Amino acid sequence: MDPPLSTKLEKRSRYTPGRRTLPRLSKTMPSFNRYSAPRESIEKAVVVSCKPPDKAPILSKLYNPNKKETYFDQVFIIEKELGVGSFGEVYQVKSREDGRRYAVKCALELYRNSADRRWKLREAEKHEMLPPHANLVRFYMAWEEKQRLYIQTELCETSLDKIAENNHEIPESDVWKYFIDILLAVDHLHKHDILHVDIKPANIFVSSDGVCKLGDFGLIFDLNKDDPHTSEEGDSKYLASEVLNDDRPTKAADIFSLGITVLELATDLDLPTSDQHWHTLRSGHIPTRFVEKISPDLRDLIVSMMDPSPTKRPTTKELLENPFVRKHKLRRQMTLWKHETARCMGDNFAWIWNSFLALLWYLFFPFVKIATLVHTIYGHDEVQTTPYSNHVPTPAYRERTSSKRIPTRRLPKLDLEQPLSSSMPPKLDFDLSFSNRRDSPRNSVDRASPDLLPTPNRPRRPTARELRDLRTKLFEAGDN
């Protein structure tokens, strides 16, 4: 009897982890794949691209083919391992050339033969030819070296399956954000007649800005170029029932996968891989207890996308024209615009601040020139402002400078009323001692030269000018 449908949280609480038993020994030889060397041995790094040589990406300048290290080890620094899948290992790396972080997918198995090589290169070539979109994981380049394929893509922080595993009650507002982002990505692919074929939470990645991006394009199908008989099936838990009966995949199959993905995120439903419950979900019957907590708008969209008839399922264009989808799309765009604006301002704060200051200068520069011109015309030109050419003196400064006087020295006193005797010269009185300092000019002694300062013990020698003036006066007195 099949177990009933339940949520992932209920399943985890019902089954407690026990002690694992060792696997039984097999008495037969395990199957193996015969390995045959490819026709062209790829030892050195070679770019994988289907674009013309002038538009194809090129290898890094840091790569030296003569070294033993691979191109991956020479150009990138491994920071951590993001996950391991059937294709290979995915690493978070940092480029030695530009310092940016990327995700590099490294194939686990070597090329078995030429056919296996062409099959593995198909994912890289198809991802490269996808038209770019904000909700698609960006492709940078792919290369092969030593019989191994490497794919370098945009780095994302996490995926929706990890978010659903850690959070069993995702808010409906977040479910709408995820739905809008992936719907835009699927609509972009369908406009170019490309099917993803494997839409599921594990292939939906979330960037550091919180934007969902669709990735893992190993099974994409081009309706205009690919052969319908070569198409592959995706994960059975998200697969539409008509894919098993019809050889040619359709756009409606992607719509069904998108609808059941949203159902899993909104209800935490543990999707069955087969049995009767698998057919029950694809017959249009969803147990009420799983959808009773979500809003009627989201519930109706999920039911319409999971319709058993592919022709009755809405297209991406019809979904985007839905009034509820348009409302949440507008909210999503406003949120992303705010985050992008804040990020740009944070990254370019110095440039924005300098631009703002320059704008203020250009706005107020004419007023500064006018004020300078008015001051030049109607200013106080009679005021002497040297040695400061741009200094406007204050009234206190004018009063202090006008009161300064040049220090003067007292001439020797000569009594001309007494007659001079022929036997001895007249007595001279050189009073150079500044006896009354109150009558002397302010700071005159302080400003005088050290050679001219009077000494208290001996009189100062008269200068040549003083002697010449004294001689003139003596001659005038003798004539009289």
- CA–CA separation, 373 and 384 (whole Å): 19
Whether the Cβ atoms of residue 256 and residue 313 lie closer than 8 Å to each other: yes
Residue 146 annotated as part of some ligand binding site: no
**Amino acid identity of 235?**
D
Strands 101-107 and 46-47: unpaired
| Residue in 300, 310, 208, 206 with CA at minimum distance from that of residue 249 | 310
> Which string of b and e fits 259-268 if b means at least 16 CB within 10 Å?
bbbbbbbbbb
Residue with tokens 């294709």: 87
**Amino acid identity of 127?**
H
Residue length, the chain?
480
Chain centre to alpha carbon of residue 88: 30
Question: CB neighbours of 298 closer than 8 A, spacing ≥ 6?
Answer: 172, 175, 176, 262, 266, 324
DSSP state at residue 94: E
Q: Verify cis geometry, omega within 30 degrees of 0, for the bond prior to 52.
A: no
Q: Which sequence positions are flagged as catalytic?
A: 198
- CA–CA separation, 322 and 179 (whole Å): 13
Binding positions are: 105
Specify binding-site residues for ATP: 105
